[in-house]
Amino acid sequence: MASFPTITKIEIQQVSTVMKDIGNPPGQVSATYIPGAERNIRFYMTRMFTDAGIVGEYAVNSDISNVAEFLIGRNALEREFFYNEMTRYPGNVFGSVDLLLWDIAGKYSGQSVSQLLGGYRKRLPTYASSMNGGVSGGLSTPESFADFAQQCQEIGYNAFKIHPYPRPKLQDHIDAILAIRDRVGDDMDLMLDSFCFYRTFADALKVGRACDEANYYWYEDPYFEGGSAELGHRKLREFIDTPLLQGEKVFSVQQKVNLIVSGATDFVRGTIPMNGITGTMKLAAAAEALGIDIEIHGCGPAQRHTMSAIGNSNYYEMVWVHPDVECLQMTNHIYANYADGLEEIDANGEVDVPEGPGFGIEYDWKWIDSATTGKKVIQ
C-alpha cells in the first residue's frame, strides 16, 4: 500500500424522492408552494473508496461517473491537482469530486474538515432564507411574508431573506419588502433575492429603492442575466445604497472575483457545489484581501465546515424555509446525525458545526437504499 490513500472505486447511488406541496406555477420554471402538487428531486449519494480503507461520502448533485476513470488510481489527498485538471472550463463535476476528497482527507488525518481548514468558529449566525413567493397560502401576499418573518424572529432568527419571484407583479415585491420591515422592526437583518428575476435595469432600480427605504442588508442577484453585466450593476450601486450580493449565477472563481474588482458587487457569493471547498477557500482569500465579505450559498454539512474557517463571512443560509411545508425534510432523510430546517437553530439564531473526522456525518443507508433508483459502480 502506498503512503497515501489511492482512489480504488466509485459508487454512485441515484436517489429519487418526492417533495409534496411543491410545484411550478403555470408558465414558470421556478418551483414554489402549491398545495397538492408533487415535485421529484434527485441527487447522487456518492462514495469514493480508497486502498487505505477510508471512504469519502457525500450527497452530491451531479453524477461524477464520466470522470471516475480519471480519478481511480490517483492520490486522494492531492486536491490541488484535481482543481488544476478539472476546472479548465465551468461545470458542476469538480465541486462534487472535491467534497468527497475533503471527506477522505479529514478521515485520513482523524480531523474534521473544519479543523483541516483551520476552522475556529463553533457556532454560525444563520438567516432564514424563505421559499419562492407562492400563489396561495404563506408567502403569497405581503402580509404573509411579514407573518413568516415575524414567526422566524420568534423562533430566534436574527436575519430573514425573501425570494418574491415568481410572483409577477413588481409592486407585490415592493409591498412585501416594506411590510416585512414594518412588522419586524429594526433589529432583524433583511435580505432580498430576486434570483435575477427582474428583466430590466429600471425594475431592478425600483426594487433597490424599496430596499433602501426599508434598510435591507443586501440585495441579491437583482436582474437579468445572471448578474454578469458588470457595468449595469456598477451603475445600480451608484443609484442605491443597499449593498449588492452577486456571484451565485456566475461559475468560476475568477468570474466571481471579476465582479468584485469591476465594482459590480459588494458581497460575493461562494458556491460550494460548483467550485468545491477548494475553490471557495480561494475565493474567500481573494475577497478578504480585497476587503470584501463572502457569503456561502445554501445549507449542508460542507457549507458549515467551510464557513467555520472563514472570518470574512456573516451568515449561514437556512434555505427554502416556508410556513406551511418542510422542504428540507426530504434531504434530511439521508442523515442519521444531522439536520437543517426551520427549527434547527439555537436560541441565539445560530447553528453548530458537525464534529468528527471528515464531515462528521453518519448516513441512514437504510433510507438511502430504499430511495435508490439506480446504481453505478466504477473500479
Nearer to Mg ion, 98 or 248 (CB): 248
C-alpha cell at 180: 416585512
Of 130 and 153, CB closest to Mg ion: 130
Our CB check for Mg ion shows the closer of 51 and 266 to be 266
All three cell numbers of 334? 439521508
Site size toward Mg ion (CB under 5 A) is: 2
CB 225, CB 191: distance < 8 Å: no
In terms of DSSP H, where are the helices of the chain?
68-71, 79-86, 93-109, 113-116, 142-155, 170-184, 201-213, 230-239, 253-261, 272-289, 301-307, 329-332, 365-370
In the bound state with Mg ion, the residue whose beta carbon lies nearer, of 108 and 198, is 198
C-alpha grid cell, residue 53: 480503507
Contact string 190-209 vs Mg ion (x = CB under 5 A): ---x----------------
CB of 319 to Mg ion, least distance (A): 8
Q: Provide the minimum distance between the beta carbon of 200 and Mg ion in the complex, in angstroms, as a whole number.
A: 20
Least distance CB 75 / Mg ion (angstroms)? 35
Nearer to Mg ion, 21 or 221 (CB): 221
Site string for Mg ion, 93-122 (x = CB under 5 A): ------------------------------
Asked if 40 contacts 18 with a C-beta cutoff of 8 angstroms, the reply is yes
> Which three-class secondary structure state does DSSP give residue 78?
coil
**Contact string 223-262 vs Mg ion (x = CB under 5 A):** -------------------------x--------------
Nearest Cα neighbor of 360 from 107, 75, 50, 70 is 107
Q: Which is nearer to Mg ion, 63 or 248 (CB)?
A: 248
Q: Least distance from C-beta 49 to Mg ion, angstroms?
A: 34
Taking every pair of C-alpha atoms in the chain, what is the biggest distance, in angstroms?
A: 65
Query: Do 21 and 37 touch, CB atoms closer than 8 A?
Result: yes
> What is d(CA 150, CA 174) in angstroms, rounded to the nearest whole number?
18
In whole angstroms, the minimum distance from the beta carbon of 269 to Mg ion comes to 7
Q: How far is the CB of 108 from Mg ion (least distance, A)?
A: 34
Which residues sit at the interface with Mg ion, rule CB under 5 A? 193, 248
